[in-house]
Amino acid sequence: MANTAYATASETVGAGASSVRANPLVDFTDVAARISQSKTGDQVWQIMSEVCQQTDIQGACCRCFPSNASAAPTVFFSTTEGFNEELAAALQDAPGYLDAFLHASVKSPKPFRWSDVNTILDAKSPQISSYRREIASLGDGIVVPVFGPLFRHGYFCFHGREGREYDDTEILMMHSISQTAYLKLLDVMYRDDIEGRSLSSRELEIINLIARGQSNQSVAAELSVSINTINTYMKRIFEKLDVSDRVSAVMRAYALGFIA
């Protein structure tokens, strides 16, 4: 299959404004292949930094949120080289319930400009107030919603240079690259974290039985232990896998290779 390349066009912004042109070509197939071959998050972010440089974008950040309310407020927050430090601090410090980009991403699963937040969210929402107070004065850019397994969703935020415009083809390219990078970042995170999440032989036995549709009561009978013992094991499994229910535990166990 031939490489798929995305060209960016010259755009004129406002009356009398000069044209802002990005480098003419980003090879998505090459970028995606390099991301997929990355072994660490740093390697992924180096590639994303190069993409930003090639497309005349100041930098990008990514914020990933947990799948349940009891977990830490942010799974990870990372930036490329050159990302605005003030903007990074404002986004990283904002709790999820005040993050306008997060709330707009939930309502608009396709990429949007920062300024579109004003029309996507309710005009009286606290997220809009937080955005206008902390973010709006720092410029403009593109936010790309990204989606991961086990409801670990988030967004990429690209900080455009002043006067930067984006055509539809370029936004499609940014969307594709962001999702590819996001899945690799999650893969690296879970792979690095798998040792800390390892289950004991008994816990592995239990989660495999649960994955086959058995109830706690039937698992207790099969293993000749009390239901209280199985409940205790399940609580430990939930804690290790960072989940709060049986379905999520099974999904996470599959993702981590704990279920045969």
> Which CATH number covers residue 75?
3.30.450.40
Choosing from 168, 193, 218, the residue where a domain stops is 193
C-alpha span between 52 and 62 (Å, rounded): 13
Is 107 part of a structural domain of the chain?
yes
Query: In this structure, are 209 and 185 located in the same domain?
Result: no
pLDDT above 60: residue 37: yes
Q: The tokens of 78 are what?
A: 């990372």
The reply to whether 146 falls in a domain is yes
Compute CA 229 distance to the chain's CA centroid, rounded to the nearest angstrom. Answer: 37
pLDDT (tens digit, 9 = 90+) per residue, 173-218? 999 999 999 998 888 876 655 556 688 999 999 999 999 999 999 9
The per-residue pLDDT of the chain, averaged, comes to: 82
**Domain shared by 173 and 218, yes or no:** no
Does a structural domain hold residue 73?
A: yes
Give the pLDDT score at 187: 82
pLDDT of the residue at 155: 94
Q: Of the given ranges (130-134, 228-232, 243-247), which has the lowest mean pLDDT? A: 243-247
Q: For residue 32, what are the domain limits?
A: 5-193
Tell me how far CA of residue 84 lies from CA of 7, 87, 131, 198, 222, in angstroms.
Answer: 25, 5, 16, 38, 57
In a domain, 103, yes or no: yes
86: Cα separation from own chain's centroid: 21
245 plus 130 within the same structural domain:
no
Residue 227 lies in a domain: yes
Q: Are residues 170 and 247 in the same domain?
A: no
Above 80 in pLDDT, residue 138?
yes
Whether residues 124 and 240 share a domain: the answer is: no
Q: What's the pLDDT tens digit per position in 51-102?
A: 999 888 999 999 987 655 444 555 678 899 889 999 999 988 888 888 999 9
The tokens 């969307």 sit on which residue?
175
Same domain, 248 and 174: no
CA distance 28 to 47: 12
> Residues 216, 248: one domain?
yes
Please indicate, yes or no, if residue 114 is contained in any of the structural domains: yes
Residue 180, C-beta contacts closer than 8 angstroms, at least 6 positions apart = 31, 32, 35, 36
> Is 153 found in the same domain as 63?
yes
Contact 80, 44 (CB under 8 A): no
Q: Please state, for a pLDDT cut of 70, what percent of the chain lies above it.
A: 82
Q: Are residues 227 and 169 in the same domain?
A: no
More confident residue, 152 or 35: 35
Whether 12 shows a pLDDT value over 60: the answer reads no
pTM > 0.75: no
End position of a domain, from candidates 193, 220, 245: 193
Give the confidence band of 248 by pLDDT, cuts at 50, 70, 90: confident
Confirm whether 70 is domain-assigned: yes
> How many distinct structural domains can be found in the chain?
2
Same-domain check for residues 111 and 234: no
Least confident of 71-75, 119-123, 160-164: 71-75
Q: Tell me: do 248 and 138 sit in the same domain.
A: no
Q: Residue 219 is part of a domain; what is its CATH number?
A: 1.10.10.10
Average pLDDT over residues 138-153: 86
Instruction: Assess if residue 260 is contained within a domain.
Output: no
- Domain final residue, candidates 172, 193, 214: 193
Q: 222 and 174 in one domain?
A: no
